Amino acid sequence: MTAKGTHERIQSDEIARVFAVSALRLDAEDRVVEVQWAEVRGPANLGVGAAVRARAAEVVAALHAGHRVLAVFPKTGALRPDRSFRVVELEDGTETLALDGADAPHRELRDLAALQPRQHA
């Protein structure tokens, strides 16, 4: 499934869903630009779909739609997400992503796996 397909599914479904972000790419100001995410089901975090790359705006849209988006940190064995993403509005009115809750060692944006920029053919 493409990231666009994921976005369309998010917009068309009425029930809340859960997505897990396993990697991301940050810009020079440490704002999330792109993620790798997959839909997961319930406490076992079993994958419902394949992991895809998506722009941060798609994650923001999912959060606004009432879906949960969780971070999966590599040092936890990638089995139990323990921090949720939330939307933060910047002074210029744009929205970005942050992790909910207090700062925690090895549980910050920079602790997620890093996505490399896409290679254009």
Give the pLDDT confidence of 43-98 residue by residue, as tens digits.
555 667 789 999 999 999 999 999 999 998 886 554 556 789 999 999 999 999 99
Q: How many CB atoms lie under 10 A from the CB of residue 64?
A: 11
- Classify 9 as helix, strand or coil: helix
User: Does residue 7 fall inside a structural domain?
Assistant: yes
User: Does residue 24 fall inside a structural domain?
Assistant: yes
pLDDT band per the 50, 70, 90 thresholds, residue 121:
low
User: Does residue 61 fall inside a structural domain?
Assistant: yes
Reading the block at residue 98, the tokens are: 């942050």
User: Does residue 43 fall inside a structural domain?
Assistant: yes
Give the range of the structural domain holding residue 103, as residue numbers without chain letter: 3-114
Cross-strand partners of 19:
39, 69
Asked if 23 and 33 touch (Cβ cutoff 8 Å), the reply is no
| Number of structural domains found in the chain | 1
User: Does residue 30 fall inside a structural domain?
Assistant: yes
